Amino acid sequence: MASKSLASKLTPDQLKEITTAFNEFDKDGNGSITSEEMKECLRRQHVPHQTADVEQVISSMDTDRDGTVSFDEYMNCMGALFTGKPAASKPASKKK
């Protein structure tokens, strides 16, 4: 699995950070993040966001296209950010 080799490149701290963030998003704890959960999380943290943006983020991480982001998918994406390699075909936007 790609996610496994990717995870092995991360430090324990990075892994923990990714896992913590995932659990933060996954409010019902079912092991996957929906766009609703992500929006809810952003709202709680008072992060301004647009539904379309959130859905785009979700779909860019959702490699198996089931409409939710599993931990594996999340790990792939975040791990790629940490290790500096783009996970998907489309690179993360560097908008600031």
Closer to Ca ion by CB, 28 or 53: give it: 28
Under the criterion CB under 5 A, does residue 23 sit at the interface with Ca ion? Answer: no
Task: Verify binding: residue 30, Ca ion, rule CB under 5 A.
Answer: yes
2-9 vs 71-83: helix crossing angle, rounded to 10: 40
Residue 36 burial class via C-beta count within 10 angstroms: exposed 0-12, middle 13-18, buried 19 and up? middle
Closest CA to 33 of 89, 79, 73: 73
Per-residue contact string for residues 45-84; x = within reach of Ca ion by CB under 5 A: -----------------x-x-x------------------
Residues contributing to the site for Ca ion (CB under 5 A): 26, 28, 30, 62, 64, 66
